[in-house]
């Protein structure tokens, strides 16, 4: 049993720890939780005539996420446009995550199996895009795939096509742009997982007459699974909230949740609906993080 002096010292240490963390906790509450609370409150108010809100309690914004009200008879019907935007956001985010994994997995493996000097140079090349503003990188994709861009000009020049292929302002353009932008976020966690991989496990698998597919599925993938999960979360979350890439490559016709929220706070002048959409997006991201934590804890053997 612990003595009274030890218990008092333990309480004093815990009190000191709380006091030392108090400034950081205060800043976290004010800078992070404060704006979120304001957004949550706004979602239960009525929209003002010229933006802002009127301090009258209402749940219309939350109803408006899934239903739209007819201006003539006041009846509600399913908001197909809203659901289409949500579905497009989830679909393109999942496609982006999947293809980032398809291209990022062999890229990370290739880098991890090079010599130390070559590995450093390749990692340097992977991180170079982060030195450039997201807007500049998105415009670079725009210049490649637009009707008068590099790709269509080249295909017309070699005679493969007679008319430009309409790639810009499509879901494919948004997907391509997000995959290009967020690919390094998949490569880096996978590289970290491959860098700790014991290559002797491959030799053991081949010695036991396992095929390449069996080695990949039974040995490599289970070991690097935490890196796959981390990379998928790092790609999926910013893809869900993407704003610049869908705006430039989608042209406003193929908007995602981020663009729809901006529209409500801007031209739509419906701040409560924008706030409700923001909270909904936060919930989707929180669910994705909860799934990540569950898989990570299961892999570590803790609950």
pLDDT of res. 268: 85
Same-domain check for residues 47 and 146? no
Which DSSP category does 131 fall into? G
Going by C-alpha positions, the residue among 261, 232, 247 that lies closest to residue 141 is 247
pTM over 0.85: no
Cβ–Cβ under 8 Å, residues 186 and 234? yes
The C-alpha atoms of residue 225 and residue 296 are separated, in whole angstroms, by 9
Q: How confident is the model at residue 239 (pLDDT cuts 50, 70, 90)?
A: very high
Same-domain check for residues 95 and 61? no
Cβ–Cβ under 8 Å, residues 145 and 168? yes
Residues 118-170 have pLDDT tens digits of 999 999 999 888 888 888 999 999 999 998 989 999 999 998 888 889 889 99
Q: How confident is the model at residue 299 (pLDDT cuts 50, 70, 90)?
A: low
Mean pLDDT of 250-262: 86
Mean pLDDT of 10-38: 83
Same-domain check for residues 125 and 150? yes
Same-domain check for residues 25 and 149? no
> CA-based diameter of the chain, in Å?
88
Reported in sequence order, the residue ranges of 9-84 that DSSP labels E, i.e. its strands, are: 45-47, 53-57, 67-69, 76-78
Neighbours of 289 (CB within 10 A): 13
The C-alpha atoms of residue 111 and residue 118 are separated, in whole angstroms, by 8
- In order of 17, 48, 170, 172, 184, the CA distances from 253 in angstroms are 52, 26, 8, 13, 27
Same-domain check for residues 140 and 56? no
pLDDT of res. 300: 56
Residue 96's domain is classified under what CATH number?
1.10.3720.10
The C-alpha atoms of residue 93 and residue 61 are separated, in whole angstroms, by 25
Residues 50-65 have pLDDT tens digits of 888 899 999 999 998 9
Q: Picking from 19-23, 184-188, 243-247, 273-277, which range would have the lowest pLDDT averaged per residue?
A: 19-23
Domain that holds residue 268: 78-300
Six token digits for residue 115: 């010599």
Same-domain check for residues 207 and 91? yes
Which residue in the block uniquely carries the two structure tokens 């049993």? Answer: 1
pLDDT of res. 121: 92
Same-domain check for residues 88 and 65? no
Backbone angles phi, psi at 214, to 5 degrees: -65, -40
Reported in sequence order, the residue ranges of the chain that DSSP labels E, i.e. its strands, are: 45-47, 53-57, 67-69, 76-78
Q: Picking from 10-24, 107-121, 273-287, which range would have the lowest pLDDT averaged per residue?
A: 10-24
Same-domain check for residues 120 and 207? yes
Going by C-alpha positions, the residue among 228, 257, 226, 284 that lies closest to residue 97 is 228
Res. 302: pLDDT tops 50: no
Same-domain check for residues 73 and 165? no
Average pLDDT for the chain: 87
Res. 216: pLDDT tops 50: yes
pLDDT of res. 144: 92
The C-alpha atoms of residue 194 and residue 199 are separated, in whole angstroms, by 9
Going by C-alpha positions, the residue among 98, 86, 94 that lies closest to residue 281 is 86
Res. 1: pLDDT tops 50: no
Mean pLDDT of 19-40: 85
Same-domain check for residues 71 and 184? no
Same-domain check for residues 82 and 62? no
Q: How confident is the model at residue 104 (pLDDT cuts 50, 70, 90)?
A: very high
Percentage of residues in the chain having pLDDT higher than 70 = 96
234: enclosing H helix or E strand: helix 221-240
Pick the last residue of a domain from 14, 45, 77: 77
């Amino acid at each position: 049993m612990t003595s009274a002096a030890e218990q008092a010292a333990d309480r004093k240490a815990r009190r000191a720890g709380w006091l030392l963390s108090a400034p950081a906790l205060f800043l976290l509450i004010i800078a992070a939780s404060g704006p979120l609370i304001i957004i949550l409150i706004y979602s239960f108010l009525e929209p003002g005539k010229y933006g802002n809100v009127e301090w009258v309690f209402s749940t219309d914004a939350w109803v408006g996420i899934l239903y739209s009200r007819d201006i003539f008879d006041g009846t509600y019907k399913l908001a197909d446009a809203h659901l289409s935007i949500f579905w497009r956001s989830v679909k393109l985010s999942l496609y982006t995550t999947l293809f980032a994994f398809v291209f990022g997995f062999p890229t990370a493996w290739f880098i991890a199996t090079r010599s130390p000097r070559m590995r450093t140079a390749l990692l340097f090349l992977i991180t170079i895009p982060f030195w450039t503003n997201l807007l500049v990188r998105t415009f670079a994709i725009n210049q490649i795939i637009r009707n008068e861009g590099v790709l269509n000009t080249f295909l017309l020049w070699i005679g493969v096509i007679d008319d430009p292929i309409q790639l810009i302002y499509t879901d494919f353009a948004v997907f391509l742009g997000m995959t290009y932008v967020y690919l390094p976020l998949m490569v880096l966690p996978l590289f970290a997982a491959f860098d700790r991989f014991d290559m002797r496990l491959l030799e053991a698998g081949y010695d036991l007459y396992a095929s390449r597919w069996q080695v990949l599925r039974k040995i490599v993938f289970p070991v690097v699974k935490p890196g796959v999960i981390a990379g998928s979360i790092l790609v999926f979350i910013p893809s869900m909230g993407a704003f610049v890439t869908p705006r430039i490559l989608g042209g406003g016709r193929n908007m995602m949740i981020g663009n729809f929220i901006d529209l409500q706070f801007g031209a739509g002048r419906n701040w409560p609906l924008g706030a409700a959409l923001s909270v909904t997006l936060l919930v989707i991201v929180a669910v994705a993080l909860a799934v990540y934590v569950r898989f990570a804890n299961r892999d570590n053997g803790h609950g």
